[in-house]
Amino acid sequence: MARGTTGRGSSGLYLIGIYKLVEAVALIALAFGAVRMLHRDLASSVLQWIHLLRVDPHNRYIHALLVKAFAVTPKQLEEFSVGTFIYAGLRMVEGVGLVMRKRWAEWLTAAATALFIPLELFEIYRHVSWIRVGLFVVNVAIVVYLIAMIRKKR
């Protein structure tokens, strides 16, 4: 076995790596979408989608979305896209490292995922949703699993 690699039998690491790669691809798509919106009027694009999807613009959720869309500045959109690209890069490195069974990737993924758990808790506190709770549970499970794998290999 090459130095810095983990055993072949850890399919959990492979699955976590695939999850991180899927997450990275989704983040890259989101970042490119934000970059595309830089040279467009975000509010009119949102209005166009609302009319295309035949959604009631007077619905309180749609109205809240419109208020937020009208408030976004090009600078905020640019900062969001840069941050999203950086976060996607981190997820890509984690995913590739785990798929390649690299030991450093276990440490990196455990640390990076654990660092975001307090932020996830804060977001759940601000507004509880099943998606947020589900992602929180998945990320806690990933951290627990990786820590168990790291301790087992000592």
Per residue in 117-137, pLDDT (tens digit) is 999 999 999 999 999 999 999
pLDDT at 7: 56
**Which tens digit of pLDDT belongs to each residue from 30-47?**
999 888 887 777 767 777
- Give me the phi and psi of 23, to 5 degrees please: -60, -45
Provide mean pLDDT across the span 72-83. Answer: 89
How confident is the prediction for the chain on average, in pLDDT?
Answer: 87
pLDDT over 70 at 1, yes or no: no
In percent, the amount of the chain with pLDDT more than 70 equals 93
Q: Greater confidence, 53 or 15?
A: 15
DSSP per-residue letters across the chain: --TTB--TT-HHHHHHHHHHHHHHHHHHHHHHHHHHHHTS-HHHHHHHHHHHTT--TTSHHHHHHHHHHHH--HHHHHHHHHHHHHHHHHHHHHHHHHHTTBHHHHHHHHHHHHHHHHHHHHHHHHS--HHHHHHHHHHHHHHHHHHHHHHHT-
Model pTM score: 0.77
Q: Is residue 107 scored above 80 in pLDDT?
A: yes
How far is residue 29's CA from residue 41's CA, in Å, rounded to a whole number?
19
- The residue among 24, 27, 19, 14 whose CA lies nearest residue 92 is 24
The residue type of 86 is: I
Q: Are 66 and 116 in contact (CB under 8 A)?
A: no
Exposed/middle/buried for residue 119 (C-beta within 10 Å: 0-12, 13-18, 19+): exposed
